Structure 1
Amino acid sequence: MANVLPAEKRLAVLAALVDGNSERAAERMTGVERKTIRRFALRVGTAAQSLHNTMARDLALSLIESDEVWSFVKKKQSRVTPAEHAAGLGEAYAFTALAMPSRYVVTWHVGKRDETSAAAFVADLRARLVVMPSLTSDGFTAYPGAIGASFGPGVDYGQVIKNYTRGGQRDDDHRYEPPRSPFLTKRVVFGAPNIDAATTAHVERHNGTLRHHIGRMRRLVCAFSKAPEHHRAAVALGLTHYNLCHIVSTIRVTPAVAAGVTRHVWDLAELLDALLSVPETPAPSAKPLAPRKPEGTARELPGNRGFLRVVQGGAAPSPPVAPAPPPPAPEPVAPAPPPPAPEPVAALAHVEPSALAADQPRQLDLLSWRPKPRIPQQLTLFDIDPPRK
């Protein structure tokens, strides 16, 4: 391949690929035939995995976030037959492990979103570390078993779970993430992680950068992968270029420099020379993990046996409080004298007004109603009945 394409053409094709362009767009930009670009992309992508295996080993990174990025190969999952599913077609999730605060991608794995891919991804992450990390992931159910099998129950691991529900109903529109509270719930799985600081926001932000630099991972475009090996090569090339050449604006260096993997920022020509000359290198094997130095109050135990930490949990018992004195009893209140009894009304109902004394007040009887006497004859001014003749 190197004998066919000039160095300037190879560099131009590599620049077009790592900037998120498709093979057809790279063909229009560089004038190189698309089939040649496809073979070149497969070669440098496979070499990128070997270059990463050479450099990403014996890492002392203590804070790692993991997530999965959806994509597909050749067909959507609903149209894939069982034989095509076994061949790697359909859904292709990219598992990524992002170290903080350096933003260095420790490892990745392209496969189905199942227990097999999660176990392979976590085992490769464990093989590249020499310090017991603090892990944070989303609520994928395959993570606890895989992390427990590779790191053991002594690892500090917490999950940040997203609740895609609104009013008790599932919200299937995931284009825009809802507000993070109370949309997110956190829980401790292993160890004693700082659950208040646990987050997956940085690796989720990195997913957007990953889709920007790898054109075949974007949604609703025609630049998707047609073969699984080409998709894995594209992911490896994009993430290797991100680690070595991409300057993160918040830290102003590349993630590899921030993580201590390299001492300088690589340019594209240096990356191309390394990809064309690196030998095939397998992934590293696991080594014993040293205890991680805690962020909070801790004391190191002798013999390199770890740290004695202060873990938030039960509060110290408060000193006993003396009971408050009882309130004073209220003073007795003398009962009020009863009101004078009213005179019976019925006794005055039949008393004639002349029988009362002149200086005695009269009392009206409102309850002693009697009908008026009927008048035997009533005078009228008009004759109601006309006189009879």
Structure 2
Amino acid sequence: MTPMNKLDREQRARILHLLCEGSSIRAVTRLTGASKNTVTKLLVDAGTACAAYQDRVLRNLPCKRVQVDEIWSFIYAKQANVATAKAAGPDSGDVWTWTALCADTKLMVSFFIGDRTGTSARIFLDDLKERLAGRIQLTSDGHRAYVEAVDEVFGRDVDYGILQKIYGTTIESERRYSPAKCIGAEKELVKGCPDPAHVSTSYVERSNLTIRMHTRRFTRLTNAFSKKIENHACAVALHCMYYNFVRIHKTLKVTPAMAANVTNRLWEIGDVVDVLEAWEAKK
């Protein structure tokens, strides 16, 4: 097994690349020979460095249309099983990753790890607002926590619409892992003058699918779920860094960070290692 202080840049880059492409920690240990603790520590350090870097550079963004949504996961055990779990900590149970996506550049503008309450909605939207250069059209789903949070954070300085999907009851939807069929959607213009044609959550929902496919701990029905909320947050931060700066968007033909003028070049995974090493030097 390879101890952390023996990892060179190439080994670090390979491990981070595997993590960003959906490999579990145990799979990475088998592919690279690094120990589980080594991989976990690298994930935490890289995630912390990536979160700090994006917090600094994702500012004054030229976004005009932003879509927000939440993606479910859990820490240690699902909420219903926390009471009987052997070593459940205070952060165990359901956890929600709030995401904000620019509809034009596909940039992941902001993300927040928390519960699904109005308090989390306000913290999330407050962070989002601080990163924007001007007025935006904002779209969310019908989760009511957004309505009060948008009013409190943005006031009148937003064009806000809700896309409320309508689901039907079918035989398939009664099965355990079959989602209900969407039979329609209603658009509600809540604040300002949102363009009804752009009241949509399609892009952010597709981005949430990308999170599930590229971050192993979001994969359903596996044992790769997060055991600590800190590691969960670091994995999300690392994914957002990879998604924003390294992974070329198939439609845009550039990375979201390039489309939003956050960077003028295509990053490689080695550039993420550079961000980590710069953070380590300051630390």
Please say if residues 65 and 100 of structure 1, whose CA atoms lie closer than 8 Å, have aligned partners that are also in contact. Answer: yes
Give the counterpart letter for 1:221 in structure 2.
T
Deviation at 1:111, TM superposition (A): 0.9
Q: Secondary structure at the match of 1:196?
A: helix
For 1:242 and 1:177, the matched residues in 2 are separated by 29
Q: How many residues align?
A: 278
Q: Secondary structure at the match of 1:92?
A: strand
The answer to whether structure 1 residue 59 and structure 2 residue 64 are counterparts is no
Partner of 1:349: none
For 1:10 and 1:86, the matched residues in 2 are separated by 30
Q: Which has the higher strand share?
A: 2
For 1:275 and 1:75, the matched residues in 2 are separated by 31
Q: 2:141 aligned to 138, 146, 151, which one?
A: 138
Please say if residues 164 and 172 of structure 1, whose CA atoms lie closer than 8 Å, have aligned partners that are also in contact. Answer: no
The answer to whether structure 1 residue 276 and structure 2 residue 239 are counterparts is no
Please say if residues 92 and 110 of structure 1, whose CA atoms lie closer than 8 Å, have aligned partners that are also in contact. Answer: yes
* RMSD of Structure 2 on Structure 1 (CA): 2.5
Q: Secondary structure at the match of 1:222?
A: coil
**What are structure 2's unaligned runs of at least 5 residues?**
none
Partner of 1:21: 23
Deviation at 1:196, TM superposition (A): 3.1
Q: Secondary structure at the match of 2:6?
A: coil
Alignment of 1:121-160 (within 5 A): 121-160=124-163
The answer to whether structure 1 residue 243 and structure 2 residue 283 are counterparts is no
**What are structure 1's unaligned runs of at least 5 residues?**
282-389
Q: Secondary structure at the match of 2:12?
A: helix
Partner of 1:262: 263
1:224-247 deviations in whole A, cap 9, x for unaligned? 100010000001101111000010
Bigger Rg, structure 1 or 2? 1
More relative contact order in 1 or in 2 (CA 8 Å, sep 6+)? Answer: 2
Deviation at 1:138, TM superposition (A): 0.4
Deviation at 1:99, TM superposition (A): 0.1
Please say if residues 4 and 38 of structure 2, whose CA atoms lie closer than 8 Å, have aligned partners that are also in contact. Answer: no
Partner of 1:31: 33
Instruction: Tell me: CA distance 1:2–1:29, structure 2 relative to 1, closer, same or farther (3 Å).
Output: closer
For 2:91 and 2:102, the matched residues in 1 are separated by 28
Partner of 1:166: 169
Q: Secondary structure at the match of 2:188?
A: strand
Q: Which has the higher helix share?
A: 2
For 2:196 and 2:36, the matched residues in 1 are separated by 49
Deviation at 1:280, TM superposition (A): 10
For 1:27 and 1:97, the matched residues in 2 are separated by 32
The answer to whether structure 1 residue 229 and structure 2 residue 251 are counterparts is no
Instruction: Tell me: CA distance 1:8–1:100, structure 2 relative to 1, closer, same or farther (3 Å).
Output: same
Partner of 2:191: 190
Alignment of 1:321-332 (within 5 A): none
The answer to whether structure 1 residue 119 and structure 2 residue 152 are counterparts is no
- TM-score (norm: length of structure 2): 0.91
Q: Secondary structure at the match of 2:181?
A: coil
